[in-house]
Amino acid sequence: MSVRFVIDPIEFVNNASVHRDKIALRELMRLRDVLFSDEGALNYQIRGHVDSNGRPSLKVSIKGDVSLICQRCLNSLVHEVAIENDLYLAKNNAEFDRVNENNSIDAILAVPELDVIDLIEEEIILSLPISPSHGDNQCDPYQSGLNKSSVDNASQSTNPFLALAVLKKTN
């Protein structure tokens, strides 16, 4: 596992700092649960700035592809990650609660030690579709090595669990 990148977000904004790097998908433990494969990497950039309303913010950009699990066929589904998000830095819980009432502003609490990799992972998870799937007529349930005729023959049998047994044996 690579070294974590930790910042003081207010100082990061005050210095108008910019950090860009690449993160391997296998290092994002929470994200791995929804991935078909953890091969590959994503590019990210985080930039501290003061927004047009004078609020301290972090501009987060994440780009790359991830391989999700299609909920229809359970095969790989390539999903493009293209995130551009401004995160307002709330100085305390009261300010955070006030800002969160406005659904048009994304806010995080300006903790003294913010783990950028955790922030990047959270942004990716929030951007993923709830139920990823290929488009209509793009899934092939027999891609994974199932024999269509054996499944059809078993499903026409009098025992409804025979089709399930055939599927279970092929996987």
- What is the average pLDDT across 101-119? 88
pLDDT band for 154, please (50, 70, 90 cuts): very low
Residue 43: how many other CB atoms lie within 10 Å: 13
**What confidence score (pLDDT) does residue 72 get?**
85
Q: What is the DSSP letter of 22?
A: E
Handedness of CA 29, 34, 37, 40 (dihedral sign): negative
Looking at every residue in the chain, the average pLDDT score rounds to 85
State the pLDDT at residue 36.
93
Where in the chain are the domains? Answer: 6-139, 141-171
Q: How far is CA 42 from the centre of its chain?
A: 11
Note the pLDDT tens digit of each residue in 57-97: 999 999 999 999 998 888 999 999 999 999 999 999 888 88
| Residue 141 pLDDT level (bands cut at 50, 70, 90) | low
